[in-house]
Structures are given as structure tokens and as C-alpha cells.
């Protein structure tokens, strides 16, 4: 369905559904891959789970750095698709790939050679550090592959090829489970490598999938891109991508930096608190899978509507996506809160972890509506071209409220891990209220990138 054919609520819901359902499967598979790693590592030890969880916090931070190009390219491409400018889509693709390939290789080398310094920031116990160092020594050098996967996925989805991304992630899951099985449990004659095996599997799969997605993107480009131009930098499109990507990544960067600081606080609370936090974050990925899918679908939809000069429709359809996401996350969050002990009992036999984790799941139910609101509304603002406001609010509230209150509640007052979650509740609700107000004020109406180019050409 073409975005120009969206002229009523029914057609809008249909278009949003067609975009979103493959994204839902893709996000679910991404979440499943993380849960699979945690579940399979739980057969090794809680220490292995905790160590990889800490490293993945660091890796998530690196993914945020890669996302400044991926998010910026996705928004710019979606607006140009809506404005029917295929030549601009092609140039955006070439520029985005060149930026993230160079950046990804630089980050890979930095993390790989400086892993000991980075891991020492978390003050890990000796046995945890050994696991974490082994994992990072392999996965760190392959980070460039994830940088390219994020960029290609964002571009394909912005062009409407959400099924292609879904199929790619499905293949990634299958290969990842097979690799984990072989290297963790020593199947098919391979040695039992534990955490190192998970690292080998993760790095290898990312490189294979990156190559496959590059070929797919080449085939899907609206205008065939000569190989010599496939990674070509163009100043105009660098500026457009960065105009969206840098502020967007800034908001994500601020969030993940604050989470790293909170993780450092949690490491001082002991191995039980750290292991519980790792399990909780993986369980919560089940809750966010629905809102993340709708978030990505809404961003593509809003971007194309804005590019097609349909800002009025964009304003109303954001609320449609928000209501659906809120309903689903609250229902599932209630189930998690009600059956917390049973859920934790599947992954851990430690009664302290089970008791603490079931309490945190109740607190998560309070966070979810606000967190969902932030995901949906911020993505809509970004898609409309209003990328600076979310990062300004994010930096102010996260570092002015979240981090200080997290330290006060968890360490100074001695409330432990529940204190961290109380601080996150306050942070998420403040930011979501401010984002909703921004959307309703319609300050984003004149910030379209694609239309700015059209006006300049007249």
C-alpha cells in the first residue's frame, strides 16, 4: 500500500499493521535470541549469566553509538519515500553505509584492545571478570558487523521491506541457537567452551548475517547503486542524517550511560542483585517487544506521512499506536507481576534471586506505561524531524533525577535494588509527561527534512 492511499482511519490502521507485524516478529526474535543466550548460559552458572549481562550493557552502549547513523538514515529515507524522491533515497543509503562502516571498525578496534580498562569500570569480582574478558575479547572485535546490521535494517524497514529484516533476524536466531548448542555443550565433537563459545557463536553469526543483508539491500534499492558508489559519502546527506541521528543517539546515549552508572551501583550491592538485574532486563524484553514493534512501525509511518505533507494525519495516528502499545504492555506486565516467583524459578534456583526478582517485577508494572509512552512519542517526534527536544529532556531528567535518586535510594538509604527501580519510575514518568505535552503542542510541524529540500528547490 502506498502512503498516498492512506486517507482514512481504516486504511491507516491497515497500513500500520502491514508495516508493524513483521517488525513485531523481528523484535520478538531479537528478544528471544537474548533470552536463549541467558537460558543456555544458566546451565553454566549464575556467574556466567551475570558476566555476560554486564558486557552486554557495555555492548548496548556501543550499539547506541552505531544507532546515530541507523536512526538518522531511517528517518531520512522514510521521509524521502513519502515524498517520492528515489534518487535521494539512494544517496542516503550510500552515505549511511559509509559512515557506519568506518565508525564500526573504529569502535571494534577500540573495544577489543581496551576491554580490560572498560570492564574494570564495573569493579567485577575476579571470577566474573574472567568470564567477561573472554567474551569481550571475541565479540568486541566483531562489533562493526552489528553496526552495519543496524544501519541496513533501519534502511530496509524505512523503505517498507520489514519482512526482509524479519527473515534475516530469523536466520540469525537459528544460527545463534545452533552455535550456542555446539560450543556451550560440546556437540558434534567440539569442546565445551562455555562463555567463550557463546562469544564465538555471536561474533560469527553477526558477520554472516551482515554480508547477507548487504546483498539484500543492494537488490532492494529503488535505484541500482553501482558498487563503486555503494559506500560513497555526500556532504548534503551526511548533514541530513546527522541532523536526526546525533540528537536521537544523544537521547539513547544518555539513557545507556545512566544505566551503566546504575549497573556500577548495583555491582556494589553484590552478586545476587547483579544477577537479578540481568534476569529482569531479559524478562522485560518480553514486555517491550510489543511496544518496540509499534514504535518502529509508527516511526516509519509518521516519517512517510510527514514526507507526504500529511502532518495532520501523523498527529492523530501517533495516538493510535500509543493506545495499542499501552494496552498490550499493561496486560502482559500484570501477568509477569502476578507470576514473578514462578517465572524466576525457571531460570534460577537461588531463593534470594527469586524473592528479589519477583518484587522488581511488581515495580516494573508501574514503570511500563511511562516507558511505553516514551518509546512511542519520542520515535514519532524523531520521525517528524523534531530530534533535539527528546535529548535535551533526556539528559536533564536522567542526570538530574534518575542517577542522583538511584544513588540516594539504593546506597545511601540502603534500599538496594528496589531503590534503583523507584528512581527509574520517577524518571520515566517525568519524561513521558513532557514528551506527550510536546507532541500535543505541535512544535514539530515545521521540521520535515524532505520537505525542506522541496521548498529549497522551488
Which of these ranges, 70-79, 211-220, 374-383, has the smallest mean pLDDT? 70-79
DSSP 301-348: HHHHHHHTT-HHHHHHHHHHHHHHHHHHHHHHHHHHHHTHHHHHHHH-
Whole-model pTM over 0.85: no
What is the spatial distance between Cα 98 and Cα 222, in angstroms, rounded to a whole number?
A: 18
User: What average pLDDT does range 290-302 have in this prediction?
Assistant: 81
Whether residue 456 is contained in a domain is answered as no
pLDDT value at 439 more than 90: yes
Number of structural domains found in the chain? 1
Question: What is the grid cell recorded at 3?
Answer: 502512503
Residue 318 has pLDDT above 60, yes or no: yes
Determine the Cα–Cα distance for residues 432 and 332; give it in Å rounded to an integer.
20
19 vs 79: CA distance, rounded Å: 15
Is 409 a domain residue? Answer: yes
Q: Which position has the grid cell 552515505?
A: 95
How far is residue 315 from each of residues 11, 23, 377, measured CA to CA in Å? Answer: 16, 22, 10
Under the banding of pLDDT at 50, 70 and 90, the label for residue 455 is very low
Q: What residues contact residue 184 under an 8 Å CB cut-off, 6+ apart?
A: 40, 41, 43, 44, 192, 193, 194, 197, 198
Would you state the pLDDT for residue 12? 63
- Rounded to whole angstroms, the Cα distance separating 170 from 205 reads 12
Yes or no: say if 304 and 15 are a contact pair by the CB < 8 Å rule: no
Average pLDDT over residues 378-385: 86
Rounded Cα distance, 106 and 442, in Å: 39
Residue 55 lies in a domain: yes
DSSP label at residue 223 = S
Calpha distance 196→199 (Å, rounded): 5
Q: What is the pLDDT of residue 458?
A: 43
What residue has cell string 547477507?
212
The single residue listed with the C-alpha cell 557463536 is 201
C-beta separation of 138 from 167 below 8 A: no
Does some domain include residue 453?
no
Task: Give CA torsion, residues 346, 351, 352, 354, to 10 deg.
Answer: 30
pLDDT confidence tier of residue 255, bands split at 50, 70 and 90: confident
Euclidean distance between CA atoms 126 and 256, whole angstroms: 25
Q: What number is the average pLDDT over the span 34-60?
A: 75
Which has the closest alpha carbon to 26: 154, 143, 142?
A: 154
Q: Distance from first CA to last CA of the chain, Å, rounded?
A: 29
Checking if the pLDDT of 408 tops 90, the result is yes
Per-residue CA distances from 353 to 39, 129, 237, 410 (Å): 15, 21, 49, 17
Residue 458 within any structural domain of the chain: no
Residues in the chain: 458
Grid coordinates representing 257? 550511560
Residue 46 burial (CB count, 10 A):
21
pLDDT at 456: 44
Asked if the model's pLDDT at residue 376 lies above 80, the reply is yes
pLDDT at 22 over 90: no
Per-position DSSP letters for 269-298, written without gaps between them: T-HHHHHHHHHHHHHHHHHHHHHHHHHHHH
Residue 254 — pLDDT band, cuts 50, 70, 90?
confident
Tell me whether residue 455 is in a domain. Answer: no
Percent of the chain at pLDDT > 70 equals 91
Q: Which of 239, 168, 165 is nearest to 205 (CA)?
A: 168
Least confident of 13-17, 200-204, 294-298, 361-365: 13-17
Give the whole-angstrom CA distance, residue 358 versus residue 341: 5
Q: Which residues constitute the domain of residue 421? A: 6-448
Query: For residue 258, is it within any domain?
Result: yes
Q: What is the Cα–Cα distance from 147 to 210, expressed in whole angstroms?
A: 9
Q: Judge whether 1 lies within some domain.
A: no
Give me the pLDDT at residue 449, please: 61
The radius of gyration of the chain from alpha carbons, rounded to an integer in Å, stands at 22
Tell me which of 138-147, 166-175, 215-224, 380-389 is least confident: 215-224
Cell numbers describing residue 164 = 526482509
Number of alpha carbons in the 13 Å side-chain half-sphere of residue 138: 19
Amino acid at each position: 500500500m502506498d502512503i498516498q492511499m492512506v486517507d482514512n482511519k481504516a486504511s491507516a490502521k491497515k497500513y500500520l499493521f502491514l508495516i508493524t507485524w513483521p517488525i513485531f516478529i523481528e523484535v520478538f526474535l531479537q528478544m528471544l535470541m537474548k533470552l536463549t543466550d541467558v537460558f543456555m548460559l544458566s546451565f553454566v552458572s549464575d556467574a556466567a549469566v551475570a558476566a555476560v549481562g554486564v558486557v552486554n550493557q557495555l555492548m548496548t552502549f556501543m550499539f547506541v553509538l552505531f544507532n546515530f547513523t541507523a536512526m538518522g538514515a531511517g528517518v531520512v529515507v522514510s521521509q524521502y519515500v513519502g515524498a517520492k524522491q528515489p534518487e535521494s533515497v539512494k544517496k542516503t543509503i550510500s552515505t549511511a553505509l559509509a559512515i557506519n562502516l568506518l565508525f564500526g571498525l573504529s569502535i571494534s578496534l577500540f573495544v577489543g584492545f581496551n576491554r580490560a580498562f572498560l570492564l574494570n569500570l564495573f569493579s567485577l569480582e575476579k571470577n566474573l571478570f574472567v568470564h567477561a574478558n573472554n567474551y569481550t575479547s571475541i565479540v568486541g572485535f566483531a562489533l562493526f558487523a552489528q553496526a552495519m546490521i543496524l544501519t541496513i535494517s533501519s534502511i530496509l524497514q524505512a523503505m517498507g521491506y520489514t519482512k526482509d529484516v524479519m527473515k534475516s533476524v530469523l536466520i540469525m536466531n537459528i544460527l545463534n541457537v545452533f552455535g550456542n548448542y555446539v560450543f556451550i555443550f560440546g556437540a558434534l565433537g567440539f569442546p565445551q567452551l562455555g562463555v567463550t563459545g557463546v562469544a564465538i557463536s555471536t561474533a560469527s553469526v553477526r558477520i554472516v548475517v551482515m554480508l547477507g543483508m548487504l546483498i539484500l539491500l543492494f537488490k532492494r534499492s529503488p535505484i541500482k547503486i553501482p558498487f563503486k558508489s555503494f559506500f560513497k559519502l555526500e556532504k548534503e546527506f551526511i548533514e541530513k542524517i546527522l541532523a536526526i541521528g546525533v540528537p536521537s543517539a544523544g537521547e539513547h546515549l544518555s539513557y545507556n550511560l545512566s544505566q551503566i552508572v546504575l549497573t556500577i551501583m548495583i555491582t556494589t550491592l553484590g552478586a545476587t542483585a547483579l544477577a537479578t538485574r540481568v534476569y529482569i532486563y531479559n524478562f522485560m524484553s518480553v514486555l517491550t517487544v510489543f511496544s518496540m514493534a509499534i514504535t518502529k512501525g509508527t516511526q516509519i509511518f509518521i516519517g512517510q506521512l510527514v514526507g507526504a505533507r500529511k502532518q495532520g494525519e501523523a498527529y492523530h495516528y501517533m495516538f493510535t499506536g500509543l493506545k495499542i502499545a499501552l494496552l498490550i504492555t499493561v496486560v502482559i506486565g500484570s501477568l509477569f507481576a502476578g507470576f514473578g516467583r514462578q517465572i524466576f524459578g525457571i531460570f534460577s534456583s537461588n531463593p534470594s534471586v527469586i524473592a528479589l526478582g519477583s518484587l522488581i517485577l511488581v515495580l516494573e508494572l508501574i514503570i511500563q506505561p511511562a516507558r511505553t509512552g516514551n518509546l512511542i512519542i519520542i520515535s514519532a517526534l524523531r520521525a517528524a524531524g523534531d530530534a533535539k527536544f527528546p535529548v535535551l529532556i533526556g539528559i536533564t531528567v536522567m542526570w538530574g533525577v534518575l542517577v542522583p535518586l538511584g544513588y540516594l535510594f539504593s546506597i545511601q538509604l540502603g534500599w538496594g535494588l528496589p531503590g534503583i527501580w523507584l528512581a527509574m519510575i520517577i524518571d520515566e514518568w517525568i519524561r513521558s509527561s513532557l514528551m506527550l505535552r510536546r507532541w500535543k503542542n505541535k512544535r514539530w510541524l515545521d521540521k520535515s527534512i524532505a520537505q525542506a529540500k522541496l521548498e529549497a528547490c522551488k
